[in-house]
Amino acid sequence: MTTRLAQRLDVVKPSATLAVSARAAALRAEGRTIYPFGVGEPDFDTPVHVRDAAKAALDAGATRYTAVSGTLELRKAIAAQSTRTRGVPCKPDQVVVSVGAKHALFNLAIALYEPGDEVIIPAPYWVSYPEQVRLVGATPVVIETTEADGFLLRPEALAAALTPKTKAVILCTPSNPTGGAYPREWLQKIVDVMAQHDAFLIVDEIYASLVYDAFEQVSALSLASEAARDRIIVIDGVSKTYAMTGWRIGWSITTAAIAKALDVVQSQSTTNPTALAQAATIVALDGPQDSVRAMRDRFATRRTLMVETLRTIPGVTCRMPEGAFYAFADVRGLYGLSWAKARSGKLDGDLEVATFLLEEAGCAAVPGSAFGAPGYLRFSYATSEQNIEAGLAAAKAAVLKARG
């Protein structure tokens, strides 16, 4: 009997990284040392006081259904935190708590996008942005950015791409995969362009706590006029800030009217996020933030180590990212290196470079093609300094050997 799947799945592109990930797992099973530069989550533990709060909540009976959009106590905590950090009043009825930030984005796709709609997405982009748009029958409109611009969307390019079909624009700042982040002046120009259009500006700020040096993280919500704020939607969560990826708590901040629509969508999918994780999130937001600062300081050290070491590999260049925990390296200088396992006997394309570094050096990085940016590799520095030093030393040795 033939299984007939829904045609909507036909538009979803297969992951360009599955083969690399599967090979990394196979090599690890064989006993090879694999350096985990592909990970998208902090390698730190969830803070002790947050874990203790979860244990206490479990003993107190946090095992039942809650309101679909999250408990009132959590939505109050999120609204208060947003008001503090963004300087814009936020009320609990503007908040919908979901099973991670990805779920919050998917709720928006269901509630906002229709066939015929266009959603502008700058490249490089997080892999799920265009796929969620396609799944609901809308069309992702990808705008290329350049490394010279810090991989930021130029306001004039945005203005030229906006049409009556544009339903939304999705930004991620700081960015996965590039670590690039929008300075205040640049983001203000984006906000000003959007104010002339009735499309939504959806800003994924999941990495907002992880910025380095003197970079000023600012939210688009903070820069918009009161009239324009109704068209700005913020996506946030605790996964990166508090090393709580597995707890699956994210949220959207919208108008109260949109929040009601998102509540309807969520009520027919997951219902509420896990009660226990919600209780722990309140303590994460309201409790001491020392662990957040300590984690950011460690990431800052690793960022410098990762980027400066990547730059020592012949044929590799890499800009210093403003935030997140990714270095986005240009590896086009490695094209043409001899490698017997390459299709032509020489490296051609970021996927082959990623495979070469995995096979010959044990470095598991993510090809840029997965993010709409062929020619690059994403290296995560959410791993120890020892792994960074040893892994990139192995990568450099493999490249030097291939150069003969």
> What does the pLDDT read at residue 212?
98
3-state helix, strand, coil in the chain (%, to 5): 45, 15, 40
DSSP 3-state of 129: helix
Domain residue spans of the chain: 12-40+291-403, 48-286
CB 239 within 8 A of CB 101: yes
- In contact, 270 and 77? CB cutoff 8 Å: no
Cβ neighbours of residue 109 closer than 8 Å, sequence gap 6 or more: 132, 133, 135, 136, 138
- Residue 17 has a pLDDT of 63
Helix axes 350-361, 18-29, angle to 10 degrees: 10
**Does the domain formed by 12-40+291-403 have CATH 3.30.499.10?**
no
* Cβ atoms of 368 and 375 closer than 8 Å: yes
Q: pLDDT tens digit string along 29-80?
A: 999 999 999 988 999 999 999 999 999 999 999 999 999 999 999 999 999 9
Nearest-angstrom CA–CA distance, 16 and 35? 19
The pTM of this model reads: 0.96
Q: Give dist(CA 52, CA 59) in Å, integer.
A: 11
Identical topology for domains 12-40+291-403 and 48-286: no
343 CB burial (10 A radius; 0-12, 13-18, 19+): exposed
CATH code of the domain occupying 48-286: 3.40.640.10
Sites in the chain below the pLDDT cut of 70: 1, 15-18
Range 58-61, long-range pairs (CB < 8 A, 24+ positions): 58/276
